[in-house]
Structure 1
Amino acid sequence: MSAGNGTKENPWKLKTPPQTSEYEMYKDEKDGKEIIVCTVGKTVLHYDYRCLEDLHAMLKQHGDWMELGSADEQKPAKEGTVEAWGRSAENPVSGWYGLKKGLRGRFGMYIPPLMEELGLAEVEHNPRNNRMRAK
């Protein structure tokens, strides 16, 4: 869907996995750290940019489809999902890839379409319970 190149001036224009909502992402820097800025309506979320490489490596190691399991920060993530991994003490950053307190969740909703856009993953586009795998 995107024609953007991931800059603030020309962001990636993406759709959630079920293709129901549009949002934008671009790469930026905050406090000396590379981040992904994700704008959904008026809500702005931040994710650690290294999540793309880390998630790709984990999916390659996993070797099969993995459920996305998107959830808000305040809700528990379903075990064994991309969302659970994106906030797990076992991942390479030992915790949340989401960087804005209160808005750290939804990793499994917004990061997979960007990975698909960048050619790093395949993502399903069913009404619910979508999965992804490394390319």
Structure 2
Amino acid sequence: MTDVTYGSGTPDDPWILKTPPLSSEFLAWKDDTRDPPALVVQVGKTQLSYQLRCIVDAHTMLKSHGDWMPLGNADEGKPVKDGTFEQWARADDNPVGGYYGLRKGYRGRFANYVAPVLELLGLVELEHNARNNRLRAL
């Protein structure tokens, strides 16, 4: 995480993070005022949001998984590989019964944006290769 800088994770002082390959910067913050509470991600002018509970749910799942898991990053509507972090975030059998993303059309890319947040919070180890990155729970 040496190339990643960050704030306090509030709307006024968002985390400044980079995608897993460290190629693109984005902002993220917790917003407890939304219903449901959200993890908000700002990528340029595009704003994505995921249920805030994804942080705890993902860490719990990764602890149970017990090994490295491929990210499998993909846009909403694009196919995802089985056994990936992205696939879990859309699965009917995850704790929310489907997408963690809150805005239709912008519910994908979970692995790309949530994994760096989990790393920042000290919950996972995340690879930073050019492609095919993985994560595992700490």
* Pairwise TM-score range, normalised by the shorter structure: over 0.9
Any conservation in 2 of the 1:2–1:117 contact (CA below 8 Å)?
no
Any conservation in 2 of the 1:54–1:92 contact (CA below 8 Å)?
yes
Does residue 54 (structure 1) correspond to residue 57 (structure 2)? The answer is yes
2:75 aligned residue (72, 76, 79): 72
**Which letter maps to 1:97?**
Y
Any conservation in 2 of the 1:67–1:131 contact (CA below 8 Å)?
yes
1:21 aligned residue (21, 24, 28): 24
Q: Work out the CA distance in 2 between the residues paired with 1:100 and 1:17.
A: 23
What percentage of aligned pairs have identical amino acids? 56
RMSD of the alignment, in Å? 0.9
Does residue 9 (structure 1) correspond to residue 20 (structure 2)? The answer is no
Within a 5 Å distance, the mapping from 1:117-132 to structure 2 comes to: 117-132=120-135
Does residue 83 (structure 1) correspond to residue 86 (structure 2)? The answer is yes
TM-score, normalised with respect to structure 2: 0.95
**Which letter maps to 1:78?**
K
Gaps of 5+ in 2: none
Specify the SS of the correspondent of 1:26: strand
Specify the SS of the correspondent of 1:33: coil
Moved more, 64-73 or 26-35: 26-35
Instruction: Tell me how many residue pairs correspond in the alignment.
Output: 135
Structure 1 stretches of at least 4 aligned residues deviating more than 2 Å after TM superposition: 29-32
TM-score, normalised with respect to structure 1: 0.97
Q: Work out the CA distance in 2 between the residues paired with 1:84 and 1:16.
A: 18
